[in-house]
Amino acid sequence: MGVLYRRYDLFDRLTAYKVRPAPKDPPGKFETGTGNFEGMCGILGALEYIEWVGETFGAEHAERYSADYSGRRLRIKLRMSAIRSYEFELSRVLLDILEEMPGVKIYGITETRRLVEQHTRHRINCRRMFSAWKWPVATRRKA
């Protein structure tokens, strides 16, 4: 699914290589086949879900955005802020747990106060983890 945004007057001046049934005016003159209706429905479903999460969980962020946004844009902003807050908390808990595990090396930002500087992805190396881990007796191989 692709999206192209242009000013209408510039869009109208572009030459389109089109099939005969396509209209001569934009944006239809650039559509040479059947539309991706499944993709359009999927995007609409994703936007409606984002909007629902914003309505349900984004109330605490409303004060920050309600002056600049309204309607669907406000609900999407609230949703993205709610998700960012949730991911921040998940990252904080994950880093606390990983730092206590023997043999785990964390790459990148590990101070929780700096988590806002990156997206919530963490790179780890567990190479030495299993040699330091005390496996329960029942799972050990018998010689």
Given this model, what pLDDT does residue 44 score? 92
Structure tokens at 37: 């209706």
Q: Tell me: the pLDDT tens digits for 100-140? A: 888 888 888 888 778 777 666 778 887 655 555 554 544 54
pLDDT of residue 38: 94
| Domains of the chain by residue range | 36-139
pTM, entire model: 0.57
**pLDDT on residue 68:** 92
Q: In sequence order, what are the residues at sequence separation of 6 or more whose Cβ sits closer than 8 angstroms to the Cβ of residue 8? A: 26
- Reply yes or no: is the peptide bond before residue 27 cis, omega within 30 of 0: yes
pLDDT for residue 42: 94
Beta carbons of 101 and 90 less than 8 angstroms apart: no
Spell out, as residue ranges, where the chain has pLDDT lower than 50: 135, 137-138, 140, 143
Residues 129, 140: Cα–Cα separation, whole Å = 16
pLDDT at 120: 66
User: By the 8 A CB rule, do 117 and 109 touch?
Assistant: yes
